[in-house]
Amino acid sequence: MKFYRHFSFAFLWVLIGGSETFLLSKGGITSTFIRNEEKSLDMPLESDVFRIPSGYNAPQQVHITQGDHVGKAVIVSWVTEDEPGSSTVLYWRHNSSNKQTANGKVSTYTYYNYTSGYIHHCTIHNLEFNTKYYYKVGIGNTTRTFWLMIPPKVGPNVPYTFGIIGDLGQTFDSNRTLSNYEMNPVKGETVLFLGDLSYADEYPFHDNARWDTWGRFVERSVAYQPWIWTSGNHELDYEPKIGETKLFKPFLNRYHVPFKASKSTQPLWYSIKRASAYIIILSSYSAYGKSTPQYKWVRKELRKVNRSETPWLIVLMHSPWYNSNNAHFMEGETMRVVFEPFFVQSKVDIVFAGHVHAYERSERVSNIAYNIVNGRCTPVKDQSAPVYITIGDGGNIQGLASNFTEPQPAYSAFREASFGHATLEIMNQTHAFYAWHRNGDEYSVQADSLWLYNRYWYPMDDSTAKS
Ligand SMILES: [Fe+2]
Residue 126: left (phi > 0), alpha (psi -120 to 50), or beta? left
- Bridge partners for 135 per DSSP: 91, 146
The angle, 0 to 180 degrees and rounded to 10, between the axes of the packed helices 333-345 and 293-304 is: 20
Cis peptide upstream of residue 258 (ω within 30 degrees of 0)? no
CA 401 to ligand 1 center in whole angstroms: 12
Convert the pLDDT of each residue in 109-118 to its tens digit: 999 999 999 9
Question: Using 50, 70 and 90 to split pLDDT, how confident is the model at 5?
Answer: very low
Query: Are the C-beta atoms of 262 and 281 separated by less than 8 Å?
Result: no
CA 280 to ligand 1 center in whole angstroms: 19
CA 83 to ligand 1 center in whole angstroms: 34
Give the CA radius of gyration of the chain. Answer: 22
CA 411/CA 194 separation, integer angstroms:
22
Q: Which of 22-31, 221-230, 244-253, 447-456 has the weakest average pLDDT?
A: 22-31
Active-site positions read 328
Determine the average pLDDT of the residues in 328-332.
94
Asked if the model's pLDDT at residue 27 lies above 90, the reply is no
Q: Which helix (H) or strand (E) holds 160?
A: strand 160-165
Q: 192 vs 29, 63, 293, CA distance in Å?
A: 25, 14, 23
Q: Which helix (H) or strand (E) holds 215?
A: helix 209-222
Asked if the model's pLDDT at residue 2 lies above 70, the reply is no
CA 67/CA 179 separation, integer angstroms:
26
Question: Using 50, 70 and 90 to split pLDDT, how confident is the model at 25?
Answer: very low
CA 155/CA 310 separation, integer angstroms:
6
Report the largest interatomic distance among the alpha carbons of the chain, rounded to a whole angstrom: 84
pLDDT of residue 272: 98
CA 79 to ligand 1 center in whole angstroms: 26
pLDDT of residue 40: 84
Determine the average pLDDT of the residues in 84-111.
98
Q: Which of 9-23, 28-42, 295-309 has the weakest average pLDDT?
A: 9-23
pLDDT of residue 26: 59
Q: 185 vs 146, 211, 277, 380, CA distance in Å?
A: 22, 30, 22, 36
| CA dihedral over 234, 108, 88, 57, signed as positive or negative | negative
Mean pLDDT of the chain: 92
Angle at 50 between CA 76 and CA 218, to 5 degrees: 40
Determine the average pLDDT of the residues in 359-378.
96
CA 19 to ligand 1 center in whole angstroms: 44
Convert the pLDDT of each residue in 425-435 to its tens digit: 999 999 999 99
Q: Which helix (H) or strand (E) holds 178?
A: helix 172-183
Angle at 79 between CA 247 and CA 197, to 5 degrees: 45
CA 277 to ligand 1 center in whole angstroms: 25
Residue 130: DSSP 8-state: T
Q: Which amino acid is at 319?
A: S
CA 78/CA 80 separation, integer angstroms:
7
Query: Are the C-beta atoms of 151 and 70 separated by less than 8 Å?
Result: no
CA 24 to ligand 1 center in whole angstroms: 34
- In sequence order, which residues have a C-beta less than 8 Å from that of residue 110 and are 6 or more positions away? 116
CA 172/CA 366 separation, integer angstroms:
37
CA 106/CA 119 separation, integer angstroms:
5
CA 224 to ligand 1 center in whole angstroms: 26
Asked if the model's pLDDT at residue 207 lies above 50, the reply is yes
Q: How long a stretch of residues is the chain?
A: 467
* pTM of structure: 0.93
CA 185/CA 219 separation, integer angstroms:
20
Share of the chain above pLDDT 90, in %: 88
Asked if the model's pLDDT at residue 76 lies above 50, the reply is yes
Share of the chain above pLDDT 70, in %: 93
> For residue 448, with 0-12 CB atoms within 10 Å meaning exposed, 13-18 middle and 19 or more buried, which class applies?
buried
Convert the pLDDT of each residue in 403-422 to its tens digit: 999 999 999 999 999 999 99
pLDDT of residue 37: 61
* 3-state DSSP percent of the chain in helix, strand and coil, to 5: 15, 35, 50
pLDDT of residue 36: 59
Determine the average pLDDT of the residues in 148-168.
98
Give phi and psi for 182, each to the nearest 5. -65, -35
Asked if the model's pLDDT at residue 21 lies above 80, the reply is no
Q: Which of 3-17, 203-217, 368-382, 425-439 has the weakest average pLDDT?
A: 3-17
pLDDT of residue 34: 59
| Better-predicted residue by pLDDT, 212 or 39 | 212
Residue 344: left (phi > 0), alpha (psi -120 to 50), or beta? alpha
Question: Using 50, 70 and 90 to split pLDDT, how confident is the model at 14?
Answer: very low
CA 167 to ligand 1 center in whole angstroms: 7
CA 122/CA 104 separation, integer angstroms:
4
Asked if the model's pLDDT at residue 138 lies above 50, the reply is yes
pLDDT of residue 38: 64
Pairing of strands 227-229, 270-274: unpaired
CA 397 to ligand 1 center in whole angstroms: 12
pLDDT of residue 13: 30
pLDDT of residue 6: 33
